Chain A
Amino acid sequence: TQLLEQSPQFLSIQEGENLTVYCNSSSVFSSLQWYRQEPGEGPVLLVTVVTGGEVKKLKRLTFQFGDARKDSSLHITAAQPGDTGLYLCAATGFQKLVFGTGTRLLVSP
């Protein structure tokens, strides 16, 4: 069974700070997705990374897929309160997603 571990589990920062969330596994993935989930809602897809070493940017969010396709990171620049939520990485498997343990981010004004 694939196991995706995310770190840190919880992060509380001030508005304007930068942060990085990590997603690690011992398995190789064909692709990996990042989701953000807000309270009372389902996860919303942010990005899909496919190629080892790939870097994708989404406004202040930068996503990187490890060269060996076993790990990924999400970097947020100048965090805003609207970035608050649960960040989940997910490996795309046959017919299903395998989610990581999640990182809960709280950005205070």
Chain B
Amino acid sequence: DAGVTQSPTHLIKTRGQHVTLRCSPISGHKSVSWYQQVLGQGPQFIFQYYEKEERGRGNFPDRFSARQFPNYSSELNVNALLLGDSALYLCASRSPGTGGIDEQFFGPGTRLTVL
């Protein structure tokens, strides 16, 4: 079975441009989360979607938006790119674990470089 897939793997943009990142969750997983990982730091939560609805949002500006499609895949959109948006963007799909503890499975990420 395929794991979480993300595209593209790498992307180079310039300041002010817009970017769309894509994620396909593990088959059967209905929840997708997005995280931003700046070099040398741990991932930071951006969004969580479940059944096409936003269920959680991190402390990110409105330039960041996302959506989930009927097939549970998801897109993360970032407008008016800044140099500080350069990071690895991770997508995770969620499976309810034993004892009610959710387990998240991460994709390989999209490395975004803003010049």
Q: Which residues of A contact B (CB under 8 A)?
A: 4, 31, 40-45, 48, 50, 88, 90, 92, 94-102
Q: Are A48 and B103 in contact (CB under 8 A)?
A: yes
| A94 vs B97: C-alpha distance when bound (angstroms) | 14
| A4 vs B105: C-alpha distance when bound (angstroms) | 21
Q: Are B4 and A95 in contact (CB under 8 A)?
A: no
Interface positions, chain B 72-115, Cβ under 8 Å from A, are 90, 92, 97, 99, 101-109
Q: Are B48 and A42 in contact (CB under 8 A)?
A: no
Q: Please, could you name 20 A-B residue pairs with CB atoms under 8 Å apart, sorted by A? A: A31-B101, A41-B108, A41-B109, A42-B4, A45-B105, A48-B97, A50-B101, A88-B43, A92-B101, A92-B102, A95-B33, A96-B45, A97-B43, A97-B45, A97-B92, A99-B35, A99-B42, A99-B43, A101-B42, A102-B40
Q: Which residues of B contact A (CB under 8 A)?
A: 4, 33, 35, 40-45, 48, 55-56, 58, 90, 92, 97, 99, 101-109
Known: A42-B90, A96-B58. Contact between A88 and B104, CB under 8 A?
no
Smallest CB-CB separation from A48: which chain B residue?
B101
